[in-house]
Amino acid sequence: MTAVLPADRALPHEVEAMRRALDLAARGPVRGPNPRVGCVLLDPGSGRVLAEGHHRGAGSLHAEADALRDLGRPAAGLTAVVTLEPCAHTGRTGPCTEALVSAGVTRVVVGAPDPNPVAAGGADVLAAAGVEVVAGVAAADSRELNERWDTAVGRGRPWVTWKWAATLDGRSAAADGSSRWITSPEARADVHRLRAEHDAVLVGTGTALADDPALSVRSHGRVVGPQPLRVVLGRRPVPAGARLRAPGADFLQIASHDPVEALQVLQDREIRSVLLEGGPQVAAAFWRAGLVDEVVAYLAPALLGAGPQAVGDLGIGAMDDIARLRTRSVSRIGDDVRLVARPTLT
Ligand code: AOF
Ligand code: ZN
């Protein structure tokens, strides 16, 4: 069996084709159970791109099969450039390794390895079938494109983003409990964009009952695009008339306060990313369990001086235990500041 070759064995036109394949991959949906993958088929002699494909979401053709369909004829002697290791399993569709081999592809240039244990191993399968395989080309770019998915299938639990909005002094409501609105309309619109990027939005029963949030993705007040699953954690019943149970809304109540259990239920439903929207106790429980991957804080240049804190007790008593995060980005949205940060890995 020929060994899988390292990335530096890729030819310049193949590296260029990988950039194109990454662009194609980016056309796929950010959410959903599957990764974003792109593929181009090249004439190895001229380096010309003969066909292109990408994955459009669970159940549709994988990128490799889409490119073979685009070619519309046998691919004898051609090179395939794919952003993710071709799958070696039969899932919603057949194995791409088999599709490539039977189409006659003789060289495959792979981006990132597949972190999904059920589908991985395609590079070795291809090499064993006598195909020349080069792996790891622009792997970091491919992984970044599927960061949430990658984390989810690699770790066996959904990616978790914790979002909150607060005044400069960290309050999420005034002393009398009123909370509308702390941040600007622009920041609130940005939250809808954030929801649209996640498979599920999660709150505790406390928030569901007190605030009656819709948790939908809206633009100019209208519900638009695919909606996240609306998840409520806790045992207290959520009335049928609650806004997050609007007709047609995908709603799930998990009768538990255990974040690990909740994420397992969501993982079983192929949820890859979850947006935590409150309340402070629920989010703090995720944090204490080490289950937060990213924090998105909207901070309004406003002061309340009293009232509930946006963040609950994290179990930190001493300066030595302070939770430090790494800043990913800081941006101004309307009059507010959006800070994106990640927990530092210990
Ligand atoms: C994709 N698109 O282009 C490639 C994938 O949902 P299934 O059963 O069709 O299989 C999804 C798995 O196949 C996915 O998790 C990944 O490991 C592998 N490759 N998936 O959705 C693609 N190449
Ligand atoms: Zn596949």
| High-pLDDT (> 90) share of the chain, % | 94
Pocket test for ligand 1, best of 22, 30, 34, 85 (most atoms within 8 A of CB): 34
130 touches 3 (CB < 8 A): no
In the prediction, which pLDDT does 1 show?
61
Q: Whose CA is nearest to atom 18 of ligand 1?
A: 87
68 touches 113 (CB < 8 A): no
Stretch 65-72: mean pLDDT: 98
Q: Which is catalytic among the residues 64, 85, 277, 294? A: 64
How many Å lie between the centroid of ligand 2 and the Cα of residue 87?
4
Single pTM value for the model: 0.92
Q: Report how far residue 252's alpha carbon sits from residue 323's, in angstroms, rounded to the nearest whole number.
A: 31
How many Å lie between the centroid of ligand 1 and the Cα of residue 313?
40
In the prediction, which pLDDT does 345 show?
72
What's the pLDDT tens digit per position in 119-162?
A: 999 999 999 999 999 999 999 999 999 999 999 999 999 999 99
Give the pLDDT band of residue 346 (cuts 50, 70, 90). Answer: low
pLDDT at 20 over 80: yes
**Ligand 1 pocket member 54 (CB < 6 A):** no
ipTM of the complex: 0.90
In the prediction, which pLDDT does 300 show?
98
How many Å lie between the centroid of ligand 2 and the Cα of residue 103?
14
CA 199 to chain centre: 8
Give the pLDDT band of residue 279 (cuts 50, 70, 90). Answer: confident
Is 64 considered catalytic here? yes
Pocket test for ligand 1, best of 84, 199, 269 (most atoms within 8 A of CB): 84
Stretch 200-218: mean pLDDT: 94
Measured N-to-C along each axis, helices 12-25 and 63-71 cross at an angle, to the nearest 10 degrees, of 110
**Ligand 1 pocket member 93 (CB < 6 A):** yes
Q: Whose CA is nearest to atom 15 of ligand 1?
A: 34
Q: Report how far residue 254's alpha carbon sits from residue 232's, in angstroms, rounded to the nearest whole number.
A: 6
pLDDT at 8 over 90: yes
Closest atom, ligand 1, to C-alpha of 85: 23
Closest atom, ligand 1, to C-alpha of 65: 3
Give the pLDDT band of residue 82 (cuts 50, 70, 90). Answer: very high
How many Å lie between the centroid of ligand 1 and the Cα of residue 84?
9
What's the pLDDT tens digit per position in 222-269?
A: 999 889 999 999 999 999 999 999 988 999 999 999 999 999 999 999
Backbone phi and psi for residue 112, each to the nearest 5 degrees, phi listed first: -90, 150
pLDDT at 29 over 70: yes
**Ligand 1 pocket member 63 (CB < 6 A):** yes
